[in-house]
């Protein structure tokens, strides 16, 4: 005769045991939060355990102060944040065409503060005498040349090393008219054109249309 196999039903925990287990788990979680998570992530260390364990250093390593807001109506001087130069105003754009008579010249320059940037591209119908230079606002007689090679075209970027007017002198070395077309965009003020008849023509510039 075989003896029947008796199966035992596992005893379920009582409500009291469940309550004790839940409370214990909450207490452990609170202890971990206060002694580990808060010091390491947020630098909050009410018990001092995080400092003793060296966890507060972790929060200081990753926590960086937010950059200061850019002032409204700044003078176009960038605020440098790592590789980014931030401005409080939109960039401007400009497109000009100059026709130089035989042996004629023109100068065209932008007002840029120290650190101000622009992108440029110009092309002439024939090679011209070129002098890309800047004049210091504080001393207009102090002229610095950046590029005096005679080109038919040039394309690039420019960052002003000092506050002043920066731009090009183009001279026609031939006996026939030459056309120079210039396109720029950048964080500059207005531009000024110096003609061979000694006149100065200001150019009002604006941000690109939306």
DSSP 185: E
The pLDDT value recorded for residue 93 is: 96
Under a CB-based contact definition with an 8 Å cutoff, are residues 153 and 176 in contact?
Answer: no
Q: Same domain for 96 and 196? A: yes
Question: Residue 75 domain-assigned?
Answer: no
Question: Residue 67 domain-assigned?
Answer: no
Q: Same domain for 114 and 156? A: yes
Question: Residue 96 domain-assigned?
Answer: yes
Q: Same domain for 115 and 195? A: yes
Q: Same domain for 180 and 122? A: yes
Q: Same domain for 50 and 146? A: no
Q: Same domain for 108 and 147? A: yes
* Domain, as residue range, for 179: 85-203
Q: pLDDT band at 24, cuts 50/70/90?
A: confident
Q: What is the pLDDT of residues 112-151, one digit of tens each?
A: 999 999 999 999 999 999 999 999 988 878 899 999 989 8
| Average pLDDT of the segment spanning 59-88 | 65
Question: Residue 76 domain-assigned?
Answer: no
The pLDDT value recorded for residue 3 is: 55
Question: Residue 78 domain-assigned?
Answer: no
The pLDDT value recorded for residue 156 is: 97
Question: Residue 191 domain-assigned?
Answer: yes
Q: Same domain for 182 and 111? A: yes
Q: Same domain for 42 and 134? A: no
Q: What is the pLDDT of residues 164-204, one digit of tens each?
A: 999 999 999 999 999 999 999 999 999 999 999 999 999 99
Q: Same domain for 33 and 116? A: no
Question: Residue 10 domain-assigned?
Answer: no
Question: Residue 35 domain-assigned?
Answer: yes
Q: Same domain for 109 and 169? A: yes
Q: Same domain for 110 and 167? A: yes
| SS3 track for 57-122 | HHHHHHCCCCCCCCCCCCCCCCEEECCEEECCCCCEEEEEEEEECCCCEEEEEEEECCCCEEEEEE
CATH number at residue 178: 2.60.120.680
Res. 66: pLDDT tops 50: no
Phi-psi map region of 15: left, alpha, beta (phi>0 left; psi -120 to 50 alpha): alpha
Q: Same domain for 198 and 116? A: yes
Count up the domains in the chain and report the number: 2
Q: How far apart are the first and last CA of the chain?
A: 97
Q: Is pLDDT larger for residue 9 or for residue 31?
A: 31
């Amino acid at each position: 005769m075989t003896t029947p196999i008796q199966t035992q039903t596992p005893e379920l925990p009582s409500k009291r045991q469940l309550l004790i287990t839940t409370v214990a788990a909450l207490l452990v979680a609170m202890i971990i939060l206060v002694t580990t998570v808060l010091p390491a992530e947020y630098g909050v260390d009410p018990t001092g355990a995080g400092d003793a364990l060296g966890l507060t250093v972790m929060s200081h390593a990753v926590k960086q102060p937010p950059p200061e807001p850019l002032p409204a109506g700044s003078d176009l001087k960038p605020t440098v944040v790592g590789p980014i130069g931030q401005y409080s105003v939109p960039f401007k754009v400009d497109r000009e065409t100059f026709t130089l008579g035989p042996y004629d010249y023109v100068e065209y320059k932008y007002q840029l503060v120290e650190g101000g940037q622009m992108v440029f591209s110009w092309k002439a119908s024939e090679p011209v005498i070129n002098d890309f230079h800047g004049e210091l606002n504080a001393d207009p007689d102090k002229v610095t040349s950046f590029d005096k090679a005679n080109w038919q075209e040039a394309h690039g970027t420019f960052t002003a090393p000092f506050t002043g007017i920066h731009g090009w002198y183009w001279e026609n070395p031939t006996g026939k008219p030459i056309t120079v077309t210039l396109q720029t965009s950048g964080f500059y003020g207005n531009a000024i054109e110096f003609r061979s008849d000694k006149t100065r023509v200001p150019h009002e510039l604006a941000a690109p249309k939306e």
